[in-house]
Homo-oligomer: A and B are copies of this chain.
Amino acid sequence: MADVITSEYRLSTEPDLKRFVSTALEKVGVTPEDASIVADVLVAADMRGIESHGVARLEAYYVSRIRAGQLAAKPEIQTVRETPTSVLVDAGNGLGHPAGKRTMERVLQKAAQTGAAFGAVRNSNHFGIAGYYAMMALDRDIIGIASTNSTRFAAPTFGKDVLLGTNPLAFAIPAKNEPAFVLDFATTTVPKGKLEVYNRKGKQLNSGWAIDAAGVETRDPNVALKGALLPLGGFGVDNGGHKGYGLGLLVDILCGVLSGGAFGKDLPVAADPPQPGRISHFFAAFKIDGFRDPEQFKADMDTELRAFKDSAKAPGQDRIYVAGEIEYEKTLDARKNGVPVHVKVWDGLERLAGELGIPFDIEKR
């Protein structure tokens, strides 16, 4: 929303940002088709207000890995197994976005034909926001699900070894006049980036966010960065930490084990220099008309979502949101007023343009 556009942000536009991302990736050898998919996913994240998964990652997660030979610019992609209701793809250590988008497209086409389908991608890299792929279902009267395992930085309940990524799960369900229900969440309490932000600001962490390397809960961000994130629900089992841990492990199984990819201890941890991601993605889709007339369903979705939004507020609160609503409003705002890019990210993109020898022309005019 407009209030995030402070002096820390500069404004770009959707087409300019996408063109810049595409040009940068093409410059390091990515095909125009693949580059434009990555651009679409990254800029969608910025427009939805999920800056951590947007153009801020262009250099560190994608361009620098391609230049270091750790991520294949032109991967050999293989369909490993395929049935009328399932597909398994090996991404050949390429970018996660094109492999993810094309596989979800196949899952959606299968679901449109058979009613229900599942898919997975192995040997892939970071694919941006999981919600993007789930949302591909929305205008087809299909319910979409997407997930990915990720670089390890979380510990299981009662443990201290770093065994799980933030392992997000996303669900997208269409409504009629209301914005769609889009639930896209990490199965850890907070992302690793939050520890880094608190560390820079010298702020104490909340209880329930992280442990130190010995497995003891800590509120010191610097100590936590050498330890591990806690699963959603926090430390131990009293507030349901075992539930978040169970969800994180579920994601690792559905992505890594089901695809025959890397899982558990074999997943990489953050490393410098970076290594191939070796992560996997999981997708599912099923048709609403297997149950009900989609128009009636979507009208009832409006009733359901409005019931929550219109319900009584707790003291000091003036709104109750449903999942995806904030991101939807930010997208509308970004279309109208421009896409906010943090000045540090902006400067990083300008530096990248210089390194790659490509034009830097993203400012909103």
Asked if A181 is an interface residue, CB under 8 A from chain B, the answer is yes
A75-91: CB near B (< 8 Å → 1, else 0) gives 00000010111101000
A255-288: CB near B (< 8 Å → 1, else 0) gives 0111110011100000000000000000010111
- A313 pairs with B233, CB closer than 8 A: no
- A252 pairs with B304, CB closer than 8 A: yes
Most chain B beta carbons < 10 A, residue from A234, A243, A288, A321: A243
- B308 pairs with A88, CB closer than 8 A: no
Given contacts A115-B83, A118-B286, contact A319 B158 (CB under 8 A): yes
- A312 pairs with B215, CB closer than 8 A: yes
- B114 pairs with A84, CB closer than 8 A: yes
Which residues of A pack against B, CB within 8 Å? 81, 83-86, 88, 114-118, 120, 143, 155-161, 163, 171, 173, 181, 183, 185, 189-190, 206, 208-209, 211, 214-216, 232-234, 238-240, 242-244, 246-247, 249-250, 252-254, 256-260, 263-265, 284, 286-288, 290-292, 296-297, 300-301, 303-304, 307-308, 311-315, 317, 319-323
Taking the closest CB of chain B, its distance from the CB of A198, in whole angstroms, is 12
- B291 pairs with A120, CB closer than 8 A: yes
Taking the closest CB of chain B, its distance from the CB of A237, in whole angstroms, is 9
Q: Which residues of B contact A173 (CB under 8 A)?
A: 250, 253
Given contacts A160-B314, A211-B314, contact A304 B243 (CB under 8 A): no
A–B pairs, 30, beta carbons within 8 Å: A84-B114, A85-B290, A86-B287, A116-B117, A116-B118, A155-B314, A158-B314, A159-B317, A160-B311, A160-B312, A160-B314, A181-B253, A183-B247, A183-B249, A185-B242, A185-B243, A185-B246, A206-B239, A215-B314, A215-B315, A232-B233, A249-B322, A253-B301, A257-B297, A257-B304, A260-B296, A260-B297, A264-B303, A264-B307, A265-B307
- A183 pairs with B250, CB closer than 8 A: yes
- A288 pairs with B116, CB closer than 8 A: no
How far, in whole Å, are A181 and B256 apart by their CA atoms in the complex?
Answer: 15
Q: Which residues of B contact A232 (CB under 8 A)?
A: 232-233, 240, 243-244
How far, in whole Å, are A98 and B212 apart by their CA atoms in the complex?
Answer: 48
Q: Which residues of B contact A317 (CB under 8 A)?
A: 158-159, 215
Q: How many copies does the complex hold?
A: 2
Q: Which residues of B contact A163 (CB under 8 A)?
A: 307-308, 311
Can you list the 10 inter-chain pairs with the closest CB atoms, starting with the nearest?
A86-B290, A215-B314, A85-B115, A161-B311, A85-B116, A158-B317, A264-B307, A183-B246, A116-B116, A246-B323
- B315 pairs with A216, CB closer than 8 A: yes
Known: A159-B311, A183-B250. 14 other contacts (CB 8 A): A84-B114, A85-B114, A88-B291, A116-B286, A118-B286, A159-B320, A160-B314, A189-B240, A215-B313, A216-B314, A233-B233, A234-B239, A240-B244, A265-B307
Q: Which residues of B contact A156 (CB under 8 A)?
A: 308, 311, 320
Q: Which residues of B contact A308 (CB under 8 A)?
A: 156, 159, 163, 249, 264
Q: Which residues of B contact A252 (CB under 8 A)?
A: 304
Taking the closest CB of chain B, its distance from the CB of A92, in whole angstroms, is 18
- B313 pairs with A160, CB closer than 8 A: yes
How far, in whole Å, are A189 and B237 apart by their CA atoms in the complex?
Answer: 10
- A312 pairs with B246, CB closer than 8 A: no
How far, in whole Å, are A307 and B288 apart by their CA atoms in the complex?
Answer: 38
Residue of B with least CB distance to A287: B86
